[in-house]
């Protein structure tokens, strides 16, 4: 059960980190778009797009860490 909690924690942290990174990247992208096109984009688009990215990152982090925990072969003596 402890391994499952650690994997869930890794997934949660990776999802939160990817959410904030994708929001920051998309805000910069939308500001560049605003500067070049002179039309004001909807800045809430960054949050709406970042949520699926964060969910995918959380699931990927959880699944990869879960596979790594259970794939380990016990050390031979």
> Per residue of the chain (77 residues), what is the pLDDT tens digit?
788 899 999 999 999 999 999 999 999 998 999 899 988 888 888 888 899 999 999 999 999 998 988 887 666 55
Q: How far is CA 32 from CA 15, 21, 38, 41, in A?
A: 26, 17, 10, 10
CB 63, CB 31: distance < 8 Å: no
pTM: 0.79
């Amino acid at each position: 059960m402890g391994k499952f909690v650690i994997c869930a924690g890794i997934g949660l942290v990776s999802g939160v980190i990817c959410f904030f990174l994708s929001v920051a990247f998309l805000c910069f992208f939308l500001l560049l778009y605003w500067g070049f096109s002179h039309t004001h984009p909807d800045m809430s688009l960054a949050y709406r797009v970042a949520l699926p990215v964060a969910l995918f990152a959380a699931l990927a982090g959880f699944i990869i860490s879960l596979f790594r925990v259970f794939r380990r072969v016990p050390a031979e003596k």
